[in-house]
Chain A
Amino acid sequence: MQAKVKARGTQPLVVTANRLRDGRVVWLGGGGIWSERVGDAAIFDGAGVAAGLSAAAQAEAEQIVVAPYEVEVTLKPGGPEPLRMRERVRVVGPSVLAPSVLAAGMLAEAAE
Chain B
Amino acid sequence: MDGLDRTAPQVTAGIYKYDAYDRQFLRDRVAEFRGQVDRRLAGALSEDEFKPLRLMNGLYLQLHAYMLRCAVPYGVLSSDQMRQFAVVARRFDRGYGHFTTRQNIQFNWIKLEEAADAIATLADADLHAIQTSGNCIRNVTTDEYAGAAFDESVDPRVYAEILRQWSTLHPEFSFLPRKFKIAITGAARDRAAIQLHDIGLAARRDASGAVSFEVWVGGGMGRTPILAYRIRERLPEAETIAYLEAILRVYNALGGRENIHKARIKILVRDVGQARFTELVEQEYARLPRERYRLEPEVVAAIQAHFAPPPFAVLPQADAALAAACDGDAEFAAWVGRNTHPHKVAGYISAVISLKPIGGIPGDCSAAQMDAIADLADRYAFGEVRVSHVQNLVLAHVRKDELYALWQALRPLGLATGNVGLLSDIIACPGLDYCALANARAIPVAQLIAERFADLHRQHDIGSVYINISGCINACAHHHVGHIGILGVDRKGEEYYQITLGGSATNDARIGDIVGPSFAYDQVTDAVETILRSYLAIRQAGELFIDTYRRTGLAPFKEALYATA
Contact = CB atoms under 8 A, between A and B. Distances in A.
A22 B113 contact: yes
A98 B64 CA distance: 15
B346 to A, nearest CB: 33
A23 B447 contact: no
Contacts, number: 123
B63 A85 contact: no
Contacts of A86: 63, 432, 438-439, 490, 493
B433 interface: yes
Most chain-A CB neighbours within 10 Å: which of B64, B368, B413, B443? B64
A89 B432 contact: yes
A106 interface: yes
Contacts of B64: 23-25, 90, 93-94
B150 interface: no
A71 to B, nearest CB: 11
A89 B494 contact: no
Interface stretch (A27-35, A47-55, A61-69): A61-69
B440 A100 contact: no
B366 A21 contact: no
Interface stretch (B41-49, B171-179, B284-292): B41-49
A106 B416 CA distance: 11
A100 B43 contact: no
Interface residues of A, number: 38
Nearest to B47: A66
Interface residues of B, number: 48
B551 interface: no
A102 B412 contact: no
8 contacts: A4-B493, A22-B65, A22-B112, A96-B443, A98-B364, A100-B366, A103-B368, A107-B413
A85 B433 contact: no
A60 B364 CA distance: 33
Contact of B63 (A4, A5, A89): A89
Contact of A18 (B61, B411, B521): B61
Interface of A: 1-5, 18, 20-25, 60-63, 66-67, 83-86, 89-90, 93-100, 102-103, 106-107, 110-111
A83 B493 contact: yes
A25 B63 CA distance: 7
Interface stretch (B70-78, B296-304, B355-363, B460-468): B355-363
B96 interface: yes
A69 B406 CA distance: 51
A1 B432 CA distance: 14
Interface in B27-69: 40-43, 47, 61-66
B414 interface: yes
B521 A103 contact: no
B359 A89 contact: no
A63 B42 contact: yes
B457 interface: no
Contact of B359 (A25, A84, A102): A102
A106 B414 contact: yes
B62 A110 contact: no
B236 interface: no
B246 interface: no
B422 interface: no
Contacts of B111: 21-23
A21 B113 contact: yes
A99 B96 contact: yes
B492 interface: yes
Given A67-B61, A94-B443, A98-B364, 16 more contacts: A2-B494, A4-B492, A5-B492, A22-B66, A61-B43, A62-B43, A63-B42, A66-B47, A66-B61, A85-B494, A86-B490, A89-B441, A99-B365, A99-B366, A100-B368, A103-B413
Contact of B369 (A83, A98, A103): A103
B199 interface: no
